[in-house]
Structure 1
């Protein structure tokens, strides 16, 4: 069967809602709330309809569609400029070194500082693949197609891009990090705070969160042990991000302590290595495995396929990919090696 990534439409609401109910919490960009998801799709429709090539605060939603059944099997999102509607908070893990001459002793303490350092960056997030489809490299297709979308609409994205990975969630659906840090000040469970944030934004964090650094040594062992640690289901995603050039630089999510990965946009492998070429043939039998994409904005679509590039700026692709992308000779296709 063939899967294709495409722009999300308002009619995809029920598909997204059903997937959101499967996330298990801690997934702010995909809340199990029809109203919130509907608002995301409306905002995405506005972004897809905007044809101006300049950086403004927008959100794009893409979905993975089974072309045989027409069912949506996954989704991902791109935010062009975070921290514009309300501050984009992170904790930054850093070290304070102090020396006592009388004791001849050096003490190093790790601190969590509330920062907005990542404000203005673009963000890739909201990636979720239906549990029944977690095979055949579909997660990789979802993840890397986002970078082709960025390359094809480069002026719409910032020079830095981040990705937040979900942190450790226990068997009760709670967060050891939240319980050890922010939960002490809010009188809310992790699930309550996470849901409120997904629906209303995190301005309440600015209103109530203490601004002083938190000494890590004063936290419980449960809270300390999960700082910067991804959820088990996100370890493969972290490896994919690292392969794309993202790095963990001490930024963690204020709710669950999961790592925030950051990269220079133009250094992201799938952006840097992407190639635009004119289709010269659509009947390629054998070629290099690749991710192929075409179309601007609401007409964007991407899939796996075979490619063969020539020295004249042309590309031959296989018939299945040509059908999935709905392209023919003379059309332009972007691609990156799988």
Structure 2
């Protein structure tokens, strides 16, 4: 397989823009707007160039490249500390229990409360794979390469991590959740609000969204039944996150009601299991399949390959060595596929 994960470069703007146009909406981290994408690439370049190995407000953009054609066919992003430039809002589902002695009745009401509980967390997001490449495990490579990047740069990430999954969007591109909640206060369609958020940030939510909890019983059924559900295209991503140790704790996106998954960084399985070893041989032919990664910051590269481990280090196949641009003695990270 000739695909490699690498740091995004300024020249990737057009490829990112073309992929952004394929997302179908509700994809805040990859808006089909050149200026916003350029700002992301600029911010990412600054993060890769920062030499201070500490936690900061960074964004790292990764891309999936077909090395045979030079085409960029996927992308993903890592935010090291959300909620620094503007609040990071979520709704959280809570339960209010009330009892009347006179009626001898207990009533439990489900509430949506606006919160910034997740501020300061790291985030994995912005994952998009070109529709023509959704086979052969490339989505898994794109997703799990982020955890190898975190393992290789652990001081730059927080102790908690989150992933927002796109919620339910109907056939007209609208959101039943937004129509029932946010749309009542903003006079904007879901597509308009989502696009505005992607370009300008969500400070307008703080300015206009009521701070009082919303009783879900007061929402129509079409909105209630999608709270905390991922978009059908995101179900596989949710399963991958659960396999990594992420869980759904009642946090949902303020725009489409999609689930926000959370975990402790050091408990994420791919980070826990990631090991760094020196390359001893580059002619492995029958070893187990793994994700292999090397390089610091802008030099980070990750691919699938065959490997064998012994007391001296790790043996990898020749194609992986070529893709990763490593020689004997270089250190590489690995996790089983």
Give the 5 Å matches for 1:78-227: 78-227=78-227
* 1:93-132 CA-partner distances (Å, limit 9, x unpaired): 0101111111111111100000000000000000000000
Match of 2:327 in 1: 328
* 1:150-192 CA-partner distances (Å, limit 9, x unpaired): 0000000000000000000111110000001011000000000
Supply the distance in 1 between the matched residues of 2:112 and 2:311 (Cα, whole angstroms): 52
Supply the distance in 2 between the matched residues of 1:311 and 1:243 (Cα, whole angstroms): 29
Match of 1:286 in 2: 286
Supply the distance in 2 between the matched residues of 1:175 and 1:51 (Cα, whole angstroms): 42
Secondary structure at 1:39 match in 2: helix
Secondary structure at 1:158 match in 2: coil
Give the 5 Å matches for 1:53-92: 53-92=53-92
Supply the distance in 2 between the matched residues of 1:20 and 1:186 (Cα, whole angstroms): 25
> Scaled by the length of structure 1, what TM-score is found?
0.99
* 1:280-302 CA-partner distances (Å, limit 9, x unpaired): 00000111110000000000000
Supply the distance in 1 between the matched residues of 2:258 and 2:304 (Cα, whole angstroms): 30
Cα deviation for residue 13 of structure 1 reads: 0.1
Supply the distance in 2 between the matched residues of 1:2 and 1:225 (Cα, whole angstroms): 43
Cα deviation for residue 311 of structure 1 reads: 2.4
303-312 or 157-166, which deviates more: 303-312
Supply the distance in 2 between the matched residues of 1:168 and 1:320 (Cα, whole angstroms): 41
Supply the distance in 2 between the matched residues of 1:74 and 1:226 (Cα, whole angstroms): 28
Supply the distance in 1 between the matched residues of 2:298 and 2:288 (Cα, whole angstroms): 28
Match of 1:44 in 2: 44
Supply the distance in 1 between the matched residues of 2:136 and 2:273 (Cα, whole angstroms): 23
Runs of 5+ unmatched residues, structure 2: none
Secondary structure at 1:110 match in 2: strand
Match of 1:303 in 2: 303
Secondary structure at 2:261 match in 1: strand
Give the 5 Å matches for 1:227-238: 227-238=227-238
* 1:11-53 CA-partner distances (Å, limit 9, x unpaired): 0000000000000000000000000000000000000001111
Cα deviation for residue 218 of structure 1 reads: 0.3
Supply the distance in 1 between the matched residues of 2:95 and 2:141 (Cα, whole angstroms): 38
Match of 2:265 in 1: 265
Cα RMSD over matched residues? 0.5
* 1:260-308 CA-partner distances (Å, limit 9, x unpaired): 0000000000100000000000000111110000000000000000111
Match of 1:247 in 2: 247
* 1:123-143 CA-partner distances (Å, limit 9, x unpaired): 000000000000000000000
Cα deviation for residue 212 of structure 1 reads: 0.2
Supply the distance in 2 between the matched residues of 1:67 and 1:20 (Cα, whole angstroms): 21
Secondary structure at 1:128 match in 2: strand
Supply the distance in 1 between the matched residues of 2:233 and 2:323 (Cα, whole angstroms): 29
Secondary structure at 1:146 match in 2: helix
Secondary structure at 1:239 match in 2: helix
Cα deviation for residue 310 of structure 1 reads: 1.0
Secondary structure at 2:74 match in 1: strand
Match of 2:336 in 1: 337
Supply the distance in 2 between the matched residues of 1:85 and 1:106 (Cα, whole angstroms): 43
